[in-house]
Chain A
Amino acid sequence: MQSRLPILVFALLMAAIPFVPGMPPFWIVLLDNIGLAALVAMGLVLLTGVGGLTSFGQAAFVGFGAYTTAVLSTTYGLSPWLTLPLSLLVSGLLAVLLGLVTVRLSGHYLPLGTLAWGLGLFYLFSKLEFLGRNDGISAIPPLSIGAFKMLSPGSIYYAIWVAVIVSALLTMNLLDSRTGRAIRALRRGHVAAEAFGVHTPRAKMLVFIHAAVLAGLSGWLYAHLQRAVNPTPFGAQAGIEYLFIAVVGGAGYVWGGVLGAALVVVLKEVLQSYLPLVLPGSGQVETIVFGIMLVALLQLAPGGVWPWLMSLLPERRSGKKPDTSLKLEQRPRSPGQSSVLLQVEKARKQFGGVVAVNNVSFDVQAREIVALIGPNGAGKSTTFNLITGVLSATSGSISVLGSKVDKAPPQEIVKLGISRTFQHVKLVPDMTVLENVAIGAHLRGHSGPISSMLRLDRADEARLLAEAARQIERVGLGDQMHQLAGSLSLGQQRIVEIARALCVDPMLLLLDEPAAGLRHMEKQRLASLLRDLRDGGMSVLLVEHDMGFVMNLADRIVVLDFGTKIAEGTPATIKTNPEVIKAYLGVAA
């Protein structure tokens, strides 16, 4: 993705700071605290900013990490280095348990759910006997290497910042991979990602665990920095504070988490130490000013500080074209090729009392372009959703290559070689065209999250990107490959969706109004592309309103009106069919 140079410079800078002569020890303490907060915020960036799952409960995971090591290293005398994996494991396992309950929650239930168990766990920490109740646990041993004990804030500083930088690198590697693209697609809704085989609940669980483990790591470091733990820093207030660290920094950016941590920790410190001098008087003046500044900051930069800073830098979009000579394995074809690819039999879909699709039957043969036309509200897109498993039919059946797929989810349908585009474009606008298209090849890659983090996925990744680049060039958008998908015109975005669908290596392509928003020349180019695809052995089923386009392209046309099939045949017969003319032009025509 980006060059590693800025990170290296940053790492060297951080390594040099303790050696600056005259550096006040108190600043090192601040930097330690920034590092601890940054770890948690980084997890939240992935969870909230990238994955779209807002969590107030992260402080509880910090608590799990801290209490695990506190109990094991005091009561059981385990070495802190041994408790590190155990702390991470406990955080991760509890994330699985809590995640099973919360990740499934939709919309605003999710943040509220996390707030609820965040609060509950805080009270649990403060009531449990073996966690020392409200007093917590003290006399936790320091980290040590051989005889060297990390007793001072300056000595544990390196442990903290190595953890921050390594975690940042791993997190960025994860985002820039096959799994990362699936995660980044989550925020835009499930349907598009699932249509290309992404298992969205699993992807959500993954980011949830990732964020929890980072929080657990922060807790482990915290316990050995303070060498005492008590419930206060793991309560709901802290959970809320971590969230606004991420939002203030820029919730979509890994380094935004680090920047946000620095801003918030320093701001609080400055307010606490200098405000009483300016405004002497009782109480929490700093809380008041802090709250007001938070609101002001959000009004000035709702996207956070990091993206605002980045927009000041000159833009440089590193557009290295993938090596398209790399070949991706073909999708395995199912044996026993029958000539009927898709058979829809008496499919029916009711929404309450409305019959959107009324006992519709048709088929699509191999090497054929079939058009599904009809006035608005005729049930065309609903039919598409029935075929691709987004909706399940009320009755009737749908078979692919002779086997029924009625109840199959979208992820299974795409495995059979049926890929689609959407009537309302569903791309991730802040990902490049190349990355968007590569989601289409999701099922043809194999690397998981761990290998992505460790960059063991590069060969697999290069093949995926090569395939994506090939399909982008095939649809004629080679020049836009590295632009953000959201910056293209609507017509071009539709073409990007076609490239994404082609990445599946499909036998049947479903296109929902592909020509809408295209100019005349672009439509002709699209038509010739679709003909080429058919001649190459692919079938196409398309919904379209542009009759000129359909009549010149389709081999066969199916006409729907009010959910019912009213005609089927070649373009020539459809043009003269009185039922069709009546449906489109009214009775008098």
Chain B
Amino acid sequence: MNTTIMLFLLQDGITNGAIYALLGLALVLVFAVTRVILIPQGEFVTYGALTYASLAAGQMPGTAKLALALGIGAFAFDLFAARKALHGRLILRSIVANIVLPAIVLALTVYFAAQKPPVAVCIALSLVIVAMIGLFLYRIAFQPLAHTSVLVLLIASVGVHLALQGLGLLFFGAEGQRGPAVLSGSFTAGALRFTGQSITVYGITIAFIVGLWLFFGLTLYGKALRATAVNRLGARLAGIRTTLSGQIAFLLASVIGALSGIMIVPITTLYYDSGFLIGLKGFVAAIIGGLVSYPLTAVAALFVGIVEAFSSFYASNYKEVIVFMLLIPVLLLRSLAAPAVEEEKD
């Protein structure tokens, strides 16, 4: 192999790895705060990507309608949960957040979709739509199960994944789509060619990692989220609304997912079911990071991306086998390094 190929593979791996890093961060975040292993993370990616691509192609994405439908569902759950102490302000707030907001976004989407909007508008709309879907999903599917075991939450998460994937086929069809580049243009440095798109990917990933770091280290909400992650009951006793923490976690995860999707879709063709595998690789990174450490997850994600790039060059048949089997030695090392501690489960 010559240096050019190696550099090229490395670059490819780092671009993919950056995406996996973002997804891994989101998975760690959601798991730590809500104990949900977020399998539908992959659907946030495809929804974001395909909504963006549809809008850019001047088509009306079905996800905007889904957001409104889920909003109505969330409103119903709110009403049911508060049925013993209903009062006007609460109902009003719930209506505004769950129905009026998605309805406005739907109207905007319908308006813009007809006239091939500029890239920035497509990005903004896609992000808002997927963020609302994530938020409402938490309200409908996971908040009522917040007290149950990790296993039950996991199975619910699988249920949500199946439903979303089916809806994805309904909205976007079986055809793959590509979107326009977020940042066009390119430059070359030595033998390597950097596209505007890959620079965007690096930039946004770094911005997010720094942003999350600042958010968790410096803001009150960030600290509340960390407190919820450490001890749910203790956080509640200290006056932290754990429901709010869950909402923030899901909001961040869906925005990160959608953003990752928007960044990949100009590079690779995405199908309605591509998200699952992409999400799983973020997962591999998150596990290597131990589901707790953000920096370790980011490093692991880059590693996963590079391993994937090299194995697709040398043994493309066994690319997936190698990526997933990578976990076994890592897990082994982890379990040897940290012997099992007593867990009180029920």
Contact = CB atoms under 8 A, between A and B. Distances in A.
Interface in A140-199: 187-191
Contacts of B148: 298, 302
A335 interface: no
Interface string B153-169: 01110111111111101
Residue from A117, A244, A293, A295 whose CB has the most chain B CB atoms within 10 Å? A295
A130 B155 CA distance: 35
Contact of A288 (B31, B167, B174, B287): B167
Contacts of B169: 282-284
A108 interface: yes
Nearest to B320: A123
Contacts of A17: none
B82 interface: no
Given A117-B324, A285-B170, A287-B162, A294 B343 contact: no
A106 interface: yes
Interface string B295-333: 000000000000000000000011011001101100110
A215 interface: no
Contacts of A101: 328, 331-332
A539 interface: no
A288 B167 CA distance: 6
B150 interface: yes
Given A127-B321, A287-B166, A298 B159 contact: yes
Nearest to A116: B327
A394 B165 CA distance: 54
B280 A298 contact: no
Contacts of B328: 101, 113, 116-117, 120
B236 interface: no
B152 A298 contact: yes
A89 interface: no
A291 B343 contact: no
Contacts of A236: 280
A298 B340 contact: no
A242 to B, nearest CB: 11
Interface residues of A, number: 53
A503 interface: no
Contacts of A281: 170
B112 interface: no
A132 interface: no
Nearest to B319: A123
A105 interface: yes
Given A108-B150, A287-B162, A299-B144, A127 B317 contact: yes
Contacts of A302: 145, 148, 152
B234 to A, nearest CB: 18
B320 A119 contact: yes
B324 A287 contact: no
Interface in A331-371: none
B178 to A, nearest CB: 21
A437 to B, nearest CB: 21
Contact of A190 (B155, B167, B340): B340
A119 B163 contact: no
Nearest to A120: B324
A391 to B, nearest CB: 11
B48 to A, nearest CB: 19
A120 B170 contact: no
A295 B160 contact: yes
Given A285-B170, A291-B164, A247 B155 contact: yes
Contacts of A52: 345
A189 B287 contact: no
Contacts of B174: 283
Nearest to B40: A291
A112 interface: yes
B233 to A, nearest CB: 16
A240 B325 CA distance: 18
Given A190-B342, A191-B342, A288-B167, A120 B325 contact: yes
Interface of B: 31, 37, 141, 144-145, 148, 150-152, 154-156, 158-167, 169-170, 173-174, 280, 283-284, 287, 291, 317-318, 320-321, 324-325, 327-328, 331-332, 334-336, 338, 340-346
11 contacts: A52-B345, A101-B331, A104-B340, A106-B341, A117-B327, A123-B318, A284-B165, A288-B163, A291-B159, A294-B159, A298-B152
Interface of A: 48, 52, 54, 101-102, 104-109, 111-113, 115-117, 119-120, 123-124, 127, 187-191, 236, 240, 243-244, 247-248, 251, 281-295, 298-299, 302, 429
